[in-house]
Amino acid sequence: MGQTFEYDVIIVGAGPAGMTAGMYAGRSMLKTVVLERGAAGGELLNTEIIEDYPGFEHIEGWDLAQRFESHAKKFGAEFRQTTVTTLRKLADGVFEAETDSGDTYRAPTAIITAGGTPIRLGIPGEAEYAGKGVSYCAICDGAFFKGHTIAVVGGGDAAVEEADFLTRYGDKVYLIHRRDEFRASKLLQKRLFDNPKIEVIWDTLVDRVEADAQGFVHNLKLHNVKTAVESDLAVTALFVFIGFRPNTGIIEGHVDHDEMGYLLTDTNMETSIDGLFAAGDVRSQLTRQVTTAAGDGTTAAIAAEKYLASLRDSSVGRVVATGGYAV
DSSP states of 17-32: HHHHHHHHHHHTT--E
- The string of pLDDT tens digits covering residues 239-252 is 999 988 898 999 99
**Mean pLDDT of the region 138-163:** 93
The CATH number assigned to the domain with range 134-240 reads 3.50.50.60
Write the DSSP assignment of 65-117 as a string of letters.
HHHHHHHHHHTT-EEEE--EEEEEE-TTS-EEEEETTS-EEEESEEEE---EE
At 92, is the pLDDT very low, low, confident or very high (cuts 50, 70, 90)? very high
Q: Do 134-240 and 4-118+244-312 have the same topology in CATH?
A: yes
CB 238 within 8 A of CB 153: yes
Q: What pLDDT does residue 48 have?
A: 67
Q: What pLDDT does residue 117 have?
A: 79
Nearest to 163 by CA among 127, 201, 203: 201
Round the average pLDDT of the chain to a whole number and report it: 92
As a whole number of angstroms, the distance between CA 302 and CA 295 comes to: 11
- The string of pLDDT tens digits covering residues 219-236 is 999 999 999 999 999 999
Give the predicted TM-score (pTM) of the model. 0.72
- Domains of the chain: which residue ranges? 4-118+244-312, 134-240
**Mean pLDDT of the region 129-147:** 93
Catalytic center residues: 137, 140-141
Fold assignment, 4-118+244-312: FAD/NAD(P)-binding domain (3.50.50)
As a whole number of angstroms, the distance between CA 201 and CA 160 comes to: 12
DSSP code, position 293: H
- The string of pLDDT tens digits covering residues 264-297 is 999 999 999 999 999 999 998 887 789 999 999 9
Top-confidence residue, 66 or 161: 66
Nearest to 68 by CA among 45, 40, 47, 43: 40
CB 113 within 8 A of CB 12: yes
CB 246 within 8 A of CB 116: yes
Residue 327 predicted with pLDDT over 50: no
CA distances from 209 to 31, 205, 273, 319, 324 (A): 46, 12, 43, 49, 50
How many other β-carbons are positioned within 10 Å of the β-carbon of residue 88? 16
At 256, is the pLDDT very low, low, confident or very high (cuts 50, 70, 90)? very high
**Mean pLDDT of the region 62-89:** 97
Q: What pLDDT does residue 198 have?
A: 98
Q: Which is it for the CA torsion 239, 216, 195, 226, positive or negative?
A: negative
Q: What pLDDT does residue 313 have?
A: 86
